[in-house]
Amino acid sequence: MYEDLTRKNDNAIFEIFLTKKEIEKAIDQALKQIKLNIEFFDDLFPAPAATKGVYKRISNTEWTNGFWTGILWLAYQHTKEPGYKKIAEKNVTSFADRINKKVAVNHHDLGFLYSTSVVSEYKITGNKKAKEIALKAADCLLSRFQPNGRFIQAWGDLEDDKEYRLIIDSLMNIPLLYWAEQVTQNSKYGEVADQHYRNVINTVIRDNGSTYHTYFFDRKSGKPLKGMTKQGYSNDSSWARGQAWAVYGIPLHYKYRHNHKDFKIFTGVTNYFLNRLPADFIPYWDLIFNDGDNQPKDSSSGAIAICGIAEMLKNLPESFSYKQKYVILLHKMMRSLIDNYANKDLKPGAPLLDHGVYSWHSGKGVDEGNIWGDYFYFEALMRFYEDWKVFW
Ligand code: GLY
């Protein structure tokens, strides 16, 4: 049984609602940091997470590179300043090269990479070259489908038995396939995305709406075997970012398929997430933790969940039981990110959002900003500012 939304003291106190002026101020602050970072990164990209408050510069080889280009497109969308467009387009050339030469694309994160950097360009400028590049990325993602288990394999070689699994993050990668279906009118993309989506929903989401990070399958029979974590605290806890990927991935599935069954599943994972938010409405890195546990927060999970809830609110009917509570919590989370997590200390190479966790187990990016946190923070601000044209 999914949980009811049981939070107390979340009544409609009107001061909690953010005004357009407050959002504008936060966007202006973010743009100042982005301008500094454009000079700092030049032709390179930020590392996935900051080190001591500053991103190292890397080439286009990580699963996270699309987020920086996505930030540039968001900045261009908002300001219409050609400078942002020029650099974003330069980045896109690098993404063309990456997919043509198959550089570090032996994984499922093609959606994270290409929806934010290249589909975004196509949607903003209509550039046909961008469409072709993103379709190549969609084809590459399609090639990771395992017909026996009917899922897209997340990591590693397709023949590797130890990697015969899907992961919850993939809910954000399959919108690339839905977009490809839409622009090509070729159903092969949507068919794979649908099969994978059903498999994710039926395996990683537990009965109470909490989630596993990854789920293994039996190669011979194709049957689901067991849920395990990689980045979460334990196999039976809920990694906050994994839960947030579901809070956003389900509305993105709804965007393309308009399946009302998604409302219930969305409520399950979202209520579980919201019920575990600490006093400042931004989660610890795993939902097993709360105030007093002396663990780091993951601000990026908050930003991702805001985008997901905002997307689903567009579709939930007025009569939907949790709609009003979701709106209030959305504002509380966003205000907390702006007031307590947004970096106000301008410095070249610094993140927009501090206090994230990349990988607690490996000690990477713990209590540091990360580039997807920056991207989803800016996307969330844009969603508050206007009826944002969705890249995904
Ligand atoms: N998709 C990898 C992560 O969220 O860290």
3-class secondary structure per residue, 185-196: CCHHHHHHHHHH
Q: Give me the pLDDT at residue 159, please.
A: 95
The answer on pLDDT for 8 being more than 80 is no
Instruction: Quote the CA–CA distance of 102 and 190 in Å, as a whole number.
Output: 23
The pLDDT tens digits for 235-287 are 999 999 999 999 999 999 999 999 999 999 999 999 999 999 999 999 999 99
The pTM for the full model equals 0.97
The answer on pLDDT for 14 being more than 80 is no
Q: What's the farthest any 2 CA atoms get from each other in the chain?
A: 58
Percentage with pLDDT > 90 across the chain: 97
When pLDDT is cut at 50, 70 and 90, the band that residue 15 belongs to is low
Instruction: Quote the CA–CA distance of 154 and 269 in Å, as a whole number.
Output: 21
Average pLDDT on 330-352 reads 97
- What does the buried/exposed string (b/e) look like for 110-119 if buried means 16 or more CB atoms within 10 Å of the residue's CB? bbbbbbbbbb
Q: Give me the pLDDT at residue 13, please.
A: 54
Percentage with pLDDT > 70 across the chain: 98
The answer on pLDDT for 12 being more than 60 is no
- Output the CA 112–ligand 1 centroid distance in Å: 10
Give SS3 for 264: helix
Whether the CB of 213 sits within 6 Å of ligand 1: no
The pLDDT tens digits for 180-228 are 999 999 999 999 999 999 999 999 999 999 999 999 999 999 999 999 9
Question: In this structure, which residue's CA is closest to atom 2 in ligand 1?
Answer: 169
- Output the CA 239–ligand 1 centroid distance in Å: 10
